[in-house]
Amino acid sequence: MSDITPIIQSKLSTESGRRRRPTSLAAHGEPAVWLMGASLTLSLMMIAGLLSLIAYDGFRAFWPREIQRIELASGEVVLGEPIRTETFTPTEAPTEERERTLYRVGNRDTSQASFRWVEQPQVATASTPDDVVLVERIAWGPWLGELERMERVTADGSVEVLSEGHEQTLSELSEQLPLAKQRLAEIESLQRSVIDRANKQREAWRLRVAVANRQLADTDTAVRGLSKGVWTPVLAAGLGSLAAGWAGRKKRWAVVAWCAAGLLLVGAWVEQPTAGIAMTAERVEQIKSDSSQAERELVERTSEAEARIAALVAANDEVRVLIREPRTGRVAPTSVSKVDDPLRVAQVVRVVPANELSLAQKWGVYLSRWREYLTDDPREANTEGGVWPVIFGTVVLTILLSLAVVPLGVIAAIYLREYAKQGVITSVLRIAINNLAGVPSIVYGVFGLGFFCYTLGAYVDSGPVEPLPRMPWWLMAAGLGVVVSTSVLMAASGRRASTLGSTASSRWLQRGAGIGWLSSVVLIVVLGSTTPYFHGFFADRAAENIPTFRSKGILWASLTLALLTLPVVIVATEEAIAAVPGSSRQGSYGCGASRWQTIRRIVLPGAMPGIMTGAILAMARGAGEVAPLMLVGAVKLSPDLPFDQTAPYIHLDRSFMHLGFHIFDLGYQSPDPEASRPLVWVTTLLLVAIVFALNSSAMLLRARLRKRMGGPVV
């Protein structure tokens, strides 16, 4: 130690005698570190708090609660699940503080509300008897009461008592309930596979007859197409230029010849003399008789299924269960209008004798509620049942959106970074793209509704609103052919001439080719939107005023979100591409690779993890978006999934349910907010979990990509 002392002393003063100060805490950055640590801790605490609140309330929601039997001082007996207790100041006694408890009392058919505040002083006795049950019903919410008996009432009016008392009825229910559910499932599947399909066919036949009638009335749709005298030379010219292109030695003229051949041959095919056959009264009659024949067959086919359904419904109607509530002494009714007709077993979802359940049984109830929630359709204005269509809609939307946005964004970013000359225009474009990311999402929603649903959708349904006459349209098509072939020639000769010290002429050639590509894109759009040959994919339905794509739908919703998330993908991809080291590119060029080969084989694989990051961000943002979806496709209830077993299996025109919108709907649009509150938590938990799952699977994929590349695996 003593050896070191002189050195330390010498450190404290300089040669000129100025004393060196010991380094202060501030100089070490101690307060800054504390501040940074504090703000990080605060942020983490807020996030952790949010997540644990969601997790706590979400996971707790389905746990079976105890059922209390409360005798009030007034002599009234109330059954209810205690929800929460609070102190309050009653208006009649502003100085007092009293305690009150909120009970879920259910039985909406006999009492008006299914929740009830009970003030503590009013309670005479409170107990948790074993013989009370909570019955979850398909309609009208839960019913709390005491199981009395089960009976079978056959069609002739004879009553057979199946069980008596709590114990017996409970065990009998565990036998009868699955049977009833089986019958319900069979009814459902018959509905879907036979009745719904038959109805679709009926609708198709009805449309066919309507179209035939309309065509008969409309004389314009008579024979179209060229006369043979004109058509033959067109076909011959097309084949001739095809052959000329084939035989042509000069590549550039072959391109022109092929363009012309394509135009002429497509024209000949579209305008062939046999195109369009006039509708005659006989054909209409024929179609009508075919239709009625088909209707007879359909009736024959469905009558069997309908009889089976009727039998099943009758069987379900026989078995009844009497659950009496002590307050009014009434049994659970089968419907609100028939208060004395007891509940059918088929109307029961689940019977929970909450107070006598063992822990294992409670877990059983809990898991079965989760299963119902994840795999069933919603019931009772979404406040009960499951969210399967909602999950499905959200996931399909997210997948469709990333399928749309990733290729588009990546292609745009590649052009912007690799091909476009870096200058004022690209800078302006970049700023514009970054600004697009800041546009409020509802604006995208409005745009999506106006453009995708009403404009593009109308085009898909029934073709161009104002198609051009045939002659000007073909002239424009020929113009497109000229522009395309000129651009090809200009690009080819511009590239050939652009050796070192590129000349002014080569620059003009390349610029000309660029303008040519741009105008050909514009021309293609104009040609497509004014074509006289396209009458829409769903013209028949559109003529009957039934929109198909001209309405909200999952396709338009995902395209709107794709537009919304496009800047994210473009920016991420551009950064990833720029991060690919120049030495790799140089090496690739040195091996004799072209620019495109370098991009495809070196730049894109190297940028892939970054592109994945962009895709992850886009997916997460898209999955959590609500505002634009309310305009372009998300609806409160749509049990029809975008994919099912009826042709054409993929129904991108359908509206869908979305978790974000579902949360909004449950929390703020529900007729009974108190009843839907637990579901708000569960649905929030689910949305967070789905976004987390999507993100982590994408991250896993990215990590694997990086590992394959040999880069850092983070």
Partner 1 sequence: MTTLETTIAMTNTKLPRPQPAAPREYPVVDAIRAGEGFTPEIHEEILEQDSVVQISGFSLWYGQSRALFDISMPIPRGKVTALVGPSGCGKSTLLRSVNRLNDLVEGVRVQGDISLNGEPVYGPSVDVIDLRKRLGMVFQKPNPFPMSIFENVIYPLRIDGEKRRRVLEDACKNALQKAALLDEVADRLHESATALSGGQQQRLCIARAIVAEPEVLLLDEPCSALDPIATLRIEDLIREIAESYTVLIVTHNMQQATRVSEATAFMYLGRLVEFGPTEQIFQTPRLAETEDYVTGRFG
Q: Is 292 in the site for partner 1 (CB under 8 A)?
A: no
Question: Residue 214 class from Cβ within 10 Å (0-12 exposed, 13-18 middle, 19+ buried)?
Answer: middle
Interacting span for partner 1 (CB under 8 A) from 81-89, 202-210, 216-224, 596-604: 596-604
Q: Is 586 in the site for partner 1 (CB under 8 A)?
A: yes
Cβ proximity to partner 1: between 46 and 713 the closer is: 713
**Which 3 state secondary structure label does DSSP give 542?**
helix
Cβ proximity to partner 1: between 434 and 594 the closer is: 594
| CA terminus-to-terminus distance, the chain | 46
> Left (φ > 0), alpha (ψ -120 to 50) or beta: where does 306 sit?
alpha
Residue 185's closest CA among 341, 308, 62, 299? 308
Q: Is 427 in the site for partner 1 (CB under 8 A)?
A: no
CA dist 619 and 613 (Å) reads 10
Q: Is 610 in the site for partner 1 (CB under 8 A)?
A: no
Q: Is 371 in the site for partner 1 (CB under 8 A)?
A: no
- In DSSP notation, 674-700 reads HHHHHHHHHHHHHHHHHHHHHHHHHHH
Closest approach of partner 1 to the CB of residue 624, in Å: 33
Closest approach of partner 1 to the CB of residue 593, in Å: 5
Q: How many helices (H) and strands (E) does the chain have?
A: 23, 14
b/e burial code for range 542-570 (CB count within 10 A of at least 16 → b): bbeeebbbbbbbbbbbbbbbbbbbbbbbb
Q: Is 703 in the site for partner 1 (CB under 8 A)?
A: no
- According to DSSP, residue 401 is labeled H
Q: Is 296 in the site for partner 1 (CB under 8 A)?
A: no
Q: Is 500 in the site for partner 1 (CB under 8 A)?
A: yes
Q: Is 605 in the site for partner 1 (CB under 8 A)?
A: yes
Q: How far from 215 is each of 251, 277, 279, CA to CA, in Å?
A: 48, 10, 6
Q: Which helix (H) or strand (E) holds 406?
A: helix 388-414
Q: Is 583 in the site for partner 1 (CB under 8 A)?
A: yes
Cβ proximity to partner 1: between 7 and 504 the closer is: 7
Q: Is 709 in the site for partner 1 (CB under 8 A)?
A: yes
- Residue from 153, 593, 626, 627 that binds partner 1 (CB under 8 A)? 593
- Compute how many other C-beta atoms are within 10 angstroms of the C-beta atom of residue 402: 24
- Residue from 455, 597, 617, 626 that binds partner 1 (CB under 8 A)? 597
What's phi and psi for 486, nearest 5 deg?
Answer: -60, -45
Closest approach of partner 1 to the CB of residue 500, in Å: 5
Q: How far from 32 is each of 2, 41, 43, 700, CA to CA, in Å?
A: 35, 14, 17, 35
Cβ proximity to partner 1: between 91 and 499 the closer is: 499
Query: Which residues between 512 and 551 bind partner 1 (CB under 8 A)?
Result: none
Interacting span for partner 1 (CB under 8 A) from 101-109, 279-287, 393-401, 589-597: 589-597
Structure tokens at 616: 């992850």
- Residue from 22, 94, 592, 648 that binds partner 1 (CB under 8 A)? 592
Query: To which residue do tokens 């998300």 refer?
Result: 634
Closest approach of partner 1 to the CB of residue 251, in Å: 14
Q: Is 423 in the site for partner 1 (CB under 8 A)?
A: no
Query: Which residues between 248 and 287 bind partner 1 (CB under 8 A)?
Result: none
Q: Is 10 in the site for partner 1 (CB under 8 A)?
A: yes
Cβ proximity to partner 1: between 201 and 498 the closer is: 498
Q: Is 606 in the site for partner 1 (CB under 8 A)?
A: yes
- Residue from 13, 127, 594, 696 that binds partner 1 (CB under 8 A)? 594
Cβ proximity to partner 1: between 157 and 592 the closer is: 592
Q: Is 7 in the site for partner 1 (CB under 8 A)?
A: yes
Cβ proximity to partner 1: between 371 and 495 the closer is: 495
Query: To which residue do tokens 């794509």 refer?
Result: 549
- Residue from 165, 364, 472, 581 that binds partner 1 (CB under 8 A)? 581
Q: Is 501 in the site for partner 1 (CB under 8 A)?
A: yes
Measured CA angle at 465 (ends 462, 470), to 5 deg: 100
Q: Is 359 in the site for partner 1 (CB under 8 A)?
A: no
Query: Which amino acid, one-letter code, is at 677?
Result: R
Cβ proximity to partner 1: between 329 and 501 the closer is: 501
Closest approach of partner 1 to the CB of residue 582, in Å: 9
Cβ proximity to partner 1: between 292 and 586 the closer is: 586
Strands 98-104 and 77-88: antiparallel
Closest approach of partner 1 to the CB of residue 512, in Å: 19
Contact indicator for 109, 173 with CB cutoff of 8 Å: no
Measured CA angle at 586 (ends 584, 592), to 5 deg: 110
Contact indicator for 254, 248 with CB cutoff of 8 Å: yes
Residue 682's closest CA among 456, 383, 357, 409? 383
Q: Is 680 in the site for partner 1 (CB under 8 A)?
A: no
Cβ proximity to partner 1: between 163 and 598 the closer is: 598
- Residue from 190, 489, 602, 659 that binds partner 1 (CB under 8 A)? 602
Structure tokens at 613: 């990051």
Helices 470-497 and 504-530: angle between axes, nearest 10 degrees: 160
Q: How far from 101 is each of 82, 98, 113, 425, 681, CA to CA, in Å?
A: 7, 10, 15, 67, 21
Closest approach of partner 1 to the CB of residue 606, in Å: 6
Structure tokens at 146: 């005491």
Interacting span for partner 1 (CB under 8 A) from 4-12, 94-102, 345-353, 358-366: 4-12
- Residue from 590, 645, 648, 714 that binds partner 1 (CB under 8 A)? 590
CA dist 254 and 249 (Å) reads 7
Interacting span for partner 1 (CB under 8 A) from 93-101, 446-454, 495-503, 692-700: 495-503
Cβ proximity to partner 1: between 296 and 601 the closer is: 601
Structure tokens at 225: 């197409």
Give me the residues that bind partner 1 (CB under 8 A), please. Answer: 7, 10-11, 496-497, 499-501, 581, 583-584, 586-594, 597, 601-602, 605-606, 708-711
